[in-house]
């Protein structure tokens, strides 16, 4: 297979090389700063202190009650989904019907690699110019959404298909959310199993940047931007790249099964979170499978939004419990 460098490829590679050299040069001249201490101290984790705080704060008690009802509803949906799946298996019916098929990719590996180079280049610029983590993340995700969106929409339109089939919208979204709820015990089992395995190697996880920012940040606009990035922008960018572009390209070359596994592995590797590596692989497999069965990229995006939204609700609830006002 012939592969030659176009002018855009040369420009991207040269820019990436120059920015890498500049980053190394700047980094070598800047002395290391001591790690910043946490802005806020957390409350003791003992049960009596937490119970006393909940009794003294009616608003916090109400939030806990609402969260408890939400968790019960999630588990009720999970049990119902498992029951329905088991019933289908018992009857010999197909576990999941196909509601659509992903669009055949009209993009090449070169275009995917160009997007990756562009993302790395923007990330390096962010380090050189010393943009904050929120602005850097917004710019990187913006590049992914813009470039992946153009490639994906170009293929869908050239194939004469609609971007989103409204006639199957309810069935597709219902299938996606129920698939997620049914998989909750499996994902929780992966979390417990992976945590146990890491504990056997005496691995001490570092605080996650997002959780640390939620616990330490008190400015409402910053927390609002963080919530928007994690719950909306991040899932859209990740699904457009990993499911829309990468999985769409892999499935026609190595088959659905291997494409699901490889895209999920790369999806987990991008997060660079050893503590959640195995659970993220499970989530990536689920999102890819949902996309494969519905053929609509909007469905895994919705499931990813739902998942990240739940994680952020738990993070803010932990902030209310552990961080003094």
Q: Which three-class secondary structure string do you get for 183-237?
A: HHHHHHHHHHHHHHHHHHCCCCCCCCHHHHHHHHCCCHHHHHHHHHHHHHHHHHH
pLDDT along the chain (325 residues), means of 10: 60 71 62 48 66 81 89 94 91 83 80 88 83 84 88 66 66 92 93 88 77 83 91 94 91 93 93 87 95 91 95 88 72
Closest CA to 235 of 186, 280, 190: 280
Instruction: Work out the number of other CB atoms within 10 angstroms of the CB of residue 265.
Output: 15
| pLDDT for res 201 | 84
Sequence-separated (6 or more) residues with CB below 8 Å from residue 263: 242, 243, 246, 247, 250, 284, 288
* SS3 labels along 138-185: HHHHHHHHHHHHHHHHHHHHHCCCCCCCHHHHHHHHHHHHHHHHHHHH
Contact call for residues 102 and 291 (beta carbons, < 8 A) = yes
| pLDDT for res 241 | 93
CA distance 78 to 189: 14
Environment class of residue 245 by beta-carbon count within 10 Å: exposed (0-12), middle (13-18) or buried (19+)?
A: buried
| pLDDT for res 307 | 95
Q: What is the DSSP letter of 248?
A: H
Output the DSSP codes for 300-320.
Answer: HHHHHHHHHHHHHHHHHHHHH
CA distance 258 to 250: 8
| pLDDT for res 164 | 57
Alpha-carbon distance values, 181 to 57, 138, 167, 221 (Å): 32, 29, 23, 32
Report residue 236 as tokens: 């859209």
| pLDDT for res 158 | 58
How many Å is the Cα radius of gyration of the chain? 22
Alpha-carbon distance values, 9 to 6, 13, 155 (Å): 5, 6, 22
Contact call for residues 103 and 161 (beta carbons, < 8 A) = yes
Backbone angles phi, psi at 105, to 5 degrees: -70, 135
Report residue 14 as tokens: 């040269």
Length in residues, the chain: 325
CA distance 291 to 287: 6
Report residue 46 as tokens: 């003992």
Sequence-separated (6 or more) residues with CB below 8 Å from residue 288: 242, 243, 247, 259, 260, 263, 264, 300
pTM for this model (two decimals): 0.88
CA distance 134 to 123: 12
Instruction: Work out the number of other CB atoms within 10 angstroms of the CB of residue 254.
Output: 12
CA distance 173 to 290: 10
């Amino acid at each position: 297979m012939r592969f030659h460098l176009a002018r855009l490829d040369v420009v991207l590679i040269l820019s990436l090389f120059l920015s890498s050299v500049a980053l190394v040069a700047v980094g070598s001249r800047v002395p290391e700063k001591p790690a910043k201490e946490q802005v806020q101290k957390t409350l003791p984790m003992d049960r009596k202190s937490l119970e006393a705080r909940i009794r003294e704060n009616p608003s916090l008690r109400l939030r806990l009650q609402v969260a408890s009802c939400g968790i019960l509803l999630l588990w009720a949906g999970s049990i119902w989904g498992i029951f329905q799946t088991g019933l289908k298996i018992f009857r010999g019916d197909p576990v999941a019907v196909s509601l659509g098929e992903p669009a055949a990719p009209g993009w090449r590996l070169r275009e995917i690699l160009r997007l990756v180079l562009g993302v790395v280049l923007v990330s390096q610029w962010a380090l050189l110019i010393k943009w904050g983590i929120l602005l850097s993340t917004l710019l990187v995700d913006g590049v992914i959404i813009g470039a992946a969106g153009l490639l994906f929409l170009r293929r869908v339109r050239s194939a004469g298909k609609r971007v989103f089939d409204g006639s199957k919208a309810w069935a597709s979204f219902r299938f996606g959310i129920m698939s997620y709820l049914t998989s909750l015990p499996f994902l929780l089992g992966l979390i417990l199993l992976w945590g146990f395995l890491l504990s056997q190697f005496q691995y001490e996880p570092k605080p996650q940047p997002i959780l640390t920012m939620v616990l330490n940040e008190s400015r409402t606009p910053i927390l609002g931007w963080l919530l928007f990035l994690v719950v909306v922008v991040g899932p859209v960018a990740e699904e457009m790249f990993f499911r829309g572009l990468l999985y769409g390209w892999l499935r026609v070359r190595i088959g659905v099964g291997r494409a699901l596994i490889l895209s999920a592995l790369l999806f987990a590797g991008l997060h660079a979170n050893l503590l959640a590596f195995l659970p993220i692989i499970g989530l990536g497999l689920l999102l890819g499978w949902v996309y494969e069965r519905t053929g609509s990229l909007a469905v895994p995006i919705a499931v990813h939004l739902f998942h990240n939204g739940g994680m952020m609700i738990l993070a803010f609830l932990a902030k209310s419990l552990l961080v003094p006002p």
